Each structure stands twice: as structure tokens, then as C-alpha cells.
Amino acid sequence: MNHFNTEEKCLEFLKGQRWGNTIICPHCESDNKIYTYKTGLKFRCYDCGRNFNPKVGTIFQRTHVELPKWFIAIYLITCHSKGISSIQLSKDLKITQKTAWFMAHRIREAYLSDFDNESGTFEIDETYIGGKNKNKHADKKSHNMLGGSDKIPVVGIVNREEKSVVAFPVQSVGLSMVKNEIVPRIKRGATINTDEATVYTDLQYDYDHFTVNHGRKNWKNGLSHTNTIEGFWSLFKRGYIGIYHYMSKKHLQRYLNEFAYRYSNRDKQEIFTSIISRVSGKRLSYKSLIA
């Protein structure tokens, strides 16, 4: 708050994290010849002839909120292990709750990350978000665990070596989910650990698949366990219950992105800087947010 206390300081930091020493036009992506205005924070592209500043093409584009408040919001959301509500954020920044809610969702766009044919050792588990129906894990023999009308099934994957996690909602926890959501994210031949749910049975044909039987109170068998992903679910649900209270299916993926990115980068001191470097090309308009 003391360091990034002016718009100019924030713009200068954003410029450095976004472009380094080579300014690139966000309109035509040219770095051929960029004119710099006297302020050093406004530019003009020779190729397309358009003006721009470091905010163009980022989550900050066309915002009416000062950048120092944006930077504080990013810091608060990123460093609170269970998140921060839009009501509390609005009080801290002295803005309306509606504006704080919109800013938070824009920031969550920068958290987006995924696995793409990765190798290593993984843990996979599913959970169910929201609603009041009874425990959906009770019958692990089911091939199509829908989660009920008031619960949303969510699948999480942890890469043990990278200490990273991705999570995403699915229509149902079934065999098609394994084929369409898990197989593209994990390289064949990798080691996968799951519980005893039969939906994961076919993984044995393409992966080194190990299971633990939670129904029989078996939580760990040597190196085979799902304790890491279970720990992530515990943290996520603490945030759901204690901070956000409710997450609609429409916005659930963004909340999952927030928790997954924060969990995957929890040991990094420069997590704030890493978020600033990811804000390009992820602008979310209010119209599309509430559509």
C-alpha cells in the first residue's frame, strides 16, 4: 500500500511485468516501432497508428477504479488462504459491493491455469459443492455419480511433483468424464492415485493406477493415497462455508481457479508479481459476466 500508492507507480510496474524492455502493441501485436510519449506511460504504434497504455488488453482496461485499489484487491484475494468476500473487499477499498464483486471476478480470470498432457505422479478425487443432499460418496460402486439436483460434482487433480492442482465442475462423475477431462490432462504412463470409485477403473489400461479403499477406512497404502487432494478440498470448502457461503454453477469455475492457483503457488514469495504478469488478454466485461 505504501509502495504502489499512485497510478504512475502502478503503471510503471505493470509495464515492466507485462513487456519488460520490449513494448508490444496490444492492438496489432507489433514491436516494430513504438513511440513513447513524454510521460513514459503512454505509447503509439507506428504500424497501426493507435495509442495505448499498459492497461489496454488487460483486466484493467477501461476501469474507472484507480490502479492502487486494483493492486490492493489482487494482494488481498491472493494472500488470504480462504479468499475474501466482496462485501469485505468493498469496505477495505471504500467502493461499492457491486464494483468489488466485478473486480474480484476479473482478477479470477488471471488465475486460470490447467494441465496439458503432463507427466508425473497424480492424485484424482471428486467432491460435491452446494446443496443439502446427503453424502454423494456413499456409493462408490456407482458408474454415474450425478451429485443430485442441488449439488455440483467437481473433479480435482494434483500433480505431486509440481505441487500444483487444477479443479473443474463436470456434468457427472462417469466414464465419459474420465475420457474427456482426465485423459487429455495427464500423459499416458503416468502414475495415478484414486479412491475405490469404479469410474476410475479404466485408468489401469493407460496409467500406473493405484487405489485406496476409503470405504474400508484405508487412507494410505505405501505411496498410494489421495490425502493431498483431500487437503485441497478441505481448504476450498472452508472458504466456501466461511467466506463465500454460496457459489453459483455459472461462476464456480472462477472460484475453483482462485483456490487452485493460490494453492499451487502457496510457497512462492512473489505470488503477487506472478499475478500481475498474467493479466494480459483476460479482460472480462460486466455484460458477459452477468449474461
Write the pLDDT tens digit of every residue in 197-250.
999 999 999 999 999 998 888 888 888 999 999 999 999 999 999 999 999 999
* % the chain with pLDDT above 90: 80
Backbone dihedral region of 135: left (phi > 0), alpha (psi from -120 to 50 degrees) or beta? beta
Q: Identify whether residues 154 and 22 lie together within a single domain.
A: no
What letter represents residue 54's amino acid? P
- The answer to the question of residue 89 being in a domain is no
Which of 17, 36, 56 lies at the terminal end of a domain, its last residue? 56
pTM of the entire structure?
0.90
**Per-residue model confidence (pLDDT) at position 140:** 55
**Per-residue model confidence (pLDDT) at position 268:** 75
Whether the predicted pLDDT of 142 surpasses 60: no
Helix axis angle for 67-79 and 97-109, nearest 10°, is: 70
Helix axis angle for 67-79 and 86-93, nearest 10°, is: 140
- The answer to the question of residue 274 being in a domain is no
At 120, give phi and psi (nearest 5°): 130, -155
Which of 56, 81, 98 lies at the terminal end of a domain, its last residue? 56
- The answer to the question of residue 184 being in a domain is yes
Q: Identify whether residues 29 and 154 lie together within a single domain.
A: no
- The answer to the question of residue 115 being in a domain is no
CB-based burial of residue 88 (10 Å sphere; 0-12 exposed, 13-18 middle, 19+ buried)? middle
Residue span of the structural domain in which 187 resides: 121-264
Q: Identify whether residues 132 and 243 lie together within a single domain.
A: yes
- The answer to the question of residue 85 being in a domain is no
Domain CATH for 144? 3.30.420.10
Q: Identify whether residues 38 and 141 lie together within a single domain.
A: no
Total tally of structural domains belonging to the chain: 2
Q: Identify whether residues 43 and 155 lie together within a single domain.
A: no
What sections of 129-198 are H helices per DSSP?
175-177
- Please, are residues 45 and 34 in contact by the beta-carbon 8 Å criterion? yes
Q: Identify whether residues 176 and 257 lie together within a single domain.
A: yes
- Mean pLDDT, range 55-79, rounded to an integer: 95
